[in-house]
Every structure is written in C-alpha cells, then in structure tokens.
Amino acid sequence: MRLLIKGGTVVDPVAGSLAESDVLVENGVITRVGRGIAAPGAKVIEAGGKLVAPGLIDMHVHLREPGHEAKETVETGCRAAVRGGFTAVACMPNTSPVADSRAVIRYILERAREAGLARVYPVGALTRGSGGEELSEMADLKEAGAVALSDDGRPVANPGVMRRAMQYAGMLGLPVISHCEDPDLADGGVMNEGYTATRLGLKGIPGAAEEVMVARDIILAGLTGCRLHIAHVSTAGSVRLIREAKARGIPVTAEVTPHHFTLTDRAVEGYDTSTKVNPPLRGEADVAAIREALADGTIDVIATDHAPHTPEEKDVEYDRAPFGMVGLETAVGLVWTELVAGGVISPARAIAMMTVNPASVLGLEAGLLAPGSAADITVIDPELEERVDPDTFYSKGRNTPFAGRLLKGLPVMTMVGGKIVYRR
Ligand code: DOR
Ligand code: ZN
C-alpha cells in the first residue's frame, strides 16, 4: 500500500522549520520526504496549502473506561481524538476500577486495539486506588504497558508518600505526572478565588492551592531525581516556580490546557457548569503569564485534560456539578486561533508542544515525520474556519464552554500507521 501526500507544507518540530515537501508512505511507514517525489501507482492525497505534521499526541485525556462508559468509552474517546487530529493519547487512571493493576492496563490496551483508531498509552495509578496512601505495583504497571504514573484528578496529599512514589517511579524510569492541589487550601471550592467568585457567591480555590504543591513536588523531584511532569498548570505563580526549577536543572516539565490559555474566571459569570474545571479558570494575569510561558519554553506541552461528563451530571447547580470539560475536538482550532494566529507562538512550536515534547516526556518514539518512522501524520488546514458545535462531537461528552466559538485552523486528515482514520 503506497500513499503520497503531495504538495503540503511539512512541519519539522525539531528543526523548527516549515518546507514544501511530499511525503511517501509505504506499508505504514514513512519512506521518503522531499520535493517532487514520483510514486507511480501510489494513491495521491493533495495537501497544497495545508500543514503536514507528525501525528499529534495528547498526553492528558480521560477515556473513562472501565467503569464510566456513559461519559466516554475507549472507542468514542479515540474517535474524538482522531477527529481532533490526535494520533495518540495518554489516558489517566481515574477509571472504575482505578488503573492500578495489570488487568486494567491490559483491558484498556485491548479496547484500544479493537477500536483501531488512535494509539492509546495508559497512565498507571501512582498509589493504590489513587487513595494517596499505599504505592501501586509500579513495576507490574510498567510491564503491562503504563508509560507514566499519576493520581490525576486527586492530589497526593502526603509528602512522605509522594517522596517514596517518586523514588520508585524514578528507579523504573517512569515520569510522575502530578495533579497539584493542596486539598486543605482548595477546601471544597468550585471556581477561582477572587472578585468574580465573591460576586457570584461561589466558593473560591486560591492559586496557592496549586502553587504550594508545585513547589513541594519540585523540591521532591530535586531530592529523588525522579522526572516530574506538572499537569494542567493554571497560575502565574506556578509558571514562576517551574521556570526557576528548570533554570536550576531540576528534571521538571509542564503542560497547559487550551482552556487555561483561552478563558478567565469571567467565563463562569453565566453559571454555565461546562466552565467548571479543576484547576479552575483563573484571572487575566494568570492567562498572560501562561501565554508568555508557552512562548519562552517554560511550558513544554499542550494537553487537553479531555474530561467528558454526561449532561445529567452537568445539568445541576454549579456547586454540585463535576469538574471537567471535553477538549479533544477543539484543541487544534484553539491553538491555531488563539496562539498561532494570535502571534503568541510559531506554527512549528505549536506542533512541537503536541508532538515531540509529549513524546519525550513519556519516552515514546513518536512525534517525528522522517523516513523510517511509523506513518502517524496529521494534516491541518490553517485557513479552514468553523463554529464549535458540540452536537457534531464524536466524543460522548458535550461539556464544552466553547460552543459557538469561531475557530480557524482545523485538522482535516489523521493517519495512524499509514491508515487514514479520519478525513474531513
Ligand atoms: O476538571 C477535571 N476533571 N480535572 C481533573 O483533574 C479530573 C477531571 C476528571 O476526571 O473529570
Ligand atoms: Zn485530568
């Protein structure tokens, strides 16, 4: 099977360059990249005016299976992923049961194989049941296929447990992905602490709830030598701590979600529960600091924290709704509209933050568009515009605060291992 992607602008996220090139795919592998490739008999995909990028990787999604199949399944999550331009996702372990055993990791991988769409890399639980007390069977999880360890959705409150978890994870060479939230400071809050929360009569979560834990985990990464990845950074204070830790040579990386670089807590004003997310949407100064950190390299990765919930669960008072919003099918459009067209980052840097950078955090051989690599490819049309319509989502989740927003720059083809798994 030969496929020629012709006349597109190939993005090299490592060199940081764009060049007009053809890409030849044979038997699922990229065999040539260059100008004017002649490939008689190959199926031709015209890509003039489009960006041809290595397959995008979203290292933070909630696929909900096993246990919460009404919100999402591995299959529906993978459909949403490929529609959103992602050829691979890493899925968080807060399923039911929690992904703290070989059996659950294998189950997820089996479901992903059956779906045959995006590649799925499970993240194993850091502690048993993500209860924050006993360490999980980390070596077993790694052997079963876990690429990282996390109790995402919940903090590891006890610093002694976090220290030991990092020691073991470090010995196994697995990164720890930290959900940074001090439970006593968060104290049941439902949105960002500040003027808007006071006006709306909603209980706030201070930025300090995140920053105290970012500081603690950076100190523990220094102590243990374990690779630490900070999930969903939301405050200017966290950005400062990460920037300083990197300058000191601490092995820390960090991610930001599209909602945290796009929206402020003012979005909560209509009490729309799709704006309820953890960590919460923050203030203007936080969004500005995050955008600066995306541009200067303090932030390594853009990840969605795709967190589908059912309409029944979200259609309640703000206080009672679960935290989380979907993200897979709006991420590329938001990155292009807000960051690339907005002049915050270059197209190549945007692609790096969704390809080679997450691949490097997770130790994956992915994210490159070069001869010899698996043909995982995302084609983006930078001129294509569309309004977000949740009814068109392939995800089961409809919980997005971006409904009706006009996005420009959207994925039009997604290829995994040489197979076209999505085409507009
Ligand atoms: O908003 C969130 N939703 N934040 C998390 O950390 C967990 C996630 C979920 O699982 O719904
Ligand atoms: Zn999450």
Rounded distance from Cα 41 to ligand 2 centre (Å): 45
Are residues 90 and 172 both part of a single domain?
A: yes
Centre of ligand 2 to C-alpha 370, Å, is 31
Residue 368, in any domain of the structure: no
| Same-domain status, 173 and 290 | yes
Q: Answer yes or no: do 237 and 117 share one domain.
A: yes
Using one digit for the tens of pLDDT, what is the confidence trace for 118-154?
Answer: 999 999 999 999 999 999 999 999 999 999 999 999 9
Do 241 and 379 fall into the same domain? no
45, 98: one domain: no
Sign of torsion over alpha carbons 220, 222, 224, 227: positive
> In this structure, are 216 and 189 located in the same domain?
yes
Non-local (6+) Cβ contacts of 341 within 8 A are: 408, 409
Q: Are residues 169 and 220 in the same domain?
A: yes
Residue 396's domain spans which residues? 2-51+374-423
Q: What is the CATH number for 30?
A: 2.30.40.10
Tokens at 237, concatenated? 């204070």
With respect to residue 145, please indicate whether it lies within any of the assigned structural domains: yes
Using pLDDT thresholds of 50, 70 and 90, give the confidence band for residue 301: very high
- Residue tagged 């397959």 (tokens): 55
On whether the pTM is more than 0.95, the answer is yes
Q: Mean pLDDT across the stretch 183-188?
A: 98
* Ligand having the closest approach to the CA of 154: 1
Q: Looking at the domain assignment, is residue 168 inside a domain?
A: yes
For 250-264, what is each residue's pLDDT tens digit?
999 999 999 999 999
Q: Which member of 305, 319, 389, 391 is catalytic? A: 305
**What is the number of domains present in the chain?**
2
CA distance 35 to 38: 9
Within-domain flag for 204: yes
- Whether ligand 1 lies within 6 angstroms of the CB of 153 is answered as yes
Is 305 a catalytic site residue?
Answer: yes
Q: Are 359 and 374 in contact (CB under 8 A)?
A: no
User: Are residues 308 and 274 in contact, defined by beta-carbon separation less than 8 angstroms?
Assistant: no
**At which of 362, 382, 414 does a domain end?**
362
In this structure, the answer to whether residues 398 and 276 fall within a common structural domain is: no
Looking at residue 367, its pLDDT comes to 87
Asked whether residue 34 falls in the same domain as residue 93, the answer is no
The answer to the question of residue 104 being in a domain is yes
What type of residue sits at position 270?
Answer: G
Q: Which of 317, 342, 362 is the last residue before a domain boundary?
A: 362
Return the closest-CA partner of residue 209 out of 175, 232, 225, 243. Answer: 232
Establish if 121 belongs to a structural domain: yes
- Mutation choice for ligand 1 from 64, 177, 210, 278, CB with most ligand atoms inside 8 A: 278
The one-letter code for the residue type at 28 is G
Residues 339-376 as b/e (b if ≥16 CB within 10 A, e otherwise) read: bbeeebbbbbbbbbbbbbbbbbbbebebbbbeeebbbb
Neighbours of ion ligand 2 (CB under 5 A): 152, 305
How many angstroms from the chain centroid is the CA of residue 21? 28
Do 102 and 75 share a structural domain? Answer: yes
For residues 336 and 350, is the Cβ–Cβ distance under 8 A? yes
Could you tell me the distance, in angstroms and rounded to a whole number, from the CA of residue 233 to the centre of ligand 2?
A: 11
**Shortest-distance Cα residue to atom 7 of ligand 1:** 153
pLDDT tens profile 102-118: 999 999 999 999 999 99
Share of the chain above pLDDT 70, in %: 100
Could you tell me which of 56, 47, 55 has the C-alpha nearest to residue 5?
47
Report the alpha-carbon distance of residue 133 to residue 125 in Å, rounded: 12
Q: Which of 193, 127, 137, 185 is nearest to 160 (CA)?
A: 127
Residue 204 CB-density burial (10 A; 0-12 exposed, 13-18 middle, 19+ buried): buried
pLDDT band at 1 (very low <50, low <70, confident <90, very high): confident
Q: Which of 333, 362, 391 is the last residue of a domain?
A: 362
Q: What mean pLDDT is reported for the chain? A: 98
Pocket test for ligand 1, best of 277, 282, 313 (most atoms within 8 A of CB): 277
Check whether residue 314 and residue 392 sit in a common domain.
no
Q: Which of 194, 161, 190, 193 is nearest to 178 (CA)?
A: 161
CATH number of the domain residue 191 falls in: 3.20.20.140
**Of all atoms in ligand 1, which is nearest to the CA of residue 277?**
1
At 288, the pLDDT band (50, 70, 90 cuts) reads very high
CA 20 – CA 12 distance, rounded (Å): 11
* pLDDT at 368 (0 to 100): 87
Same domain, 278 and 129: yes
> 62 in ligand 1 pocket by Cβ < 6 Å?
yes
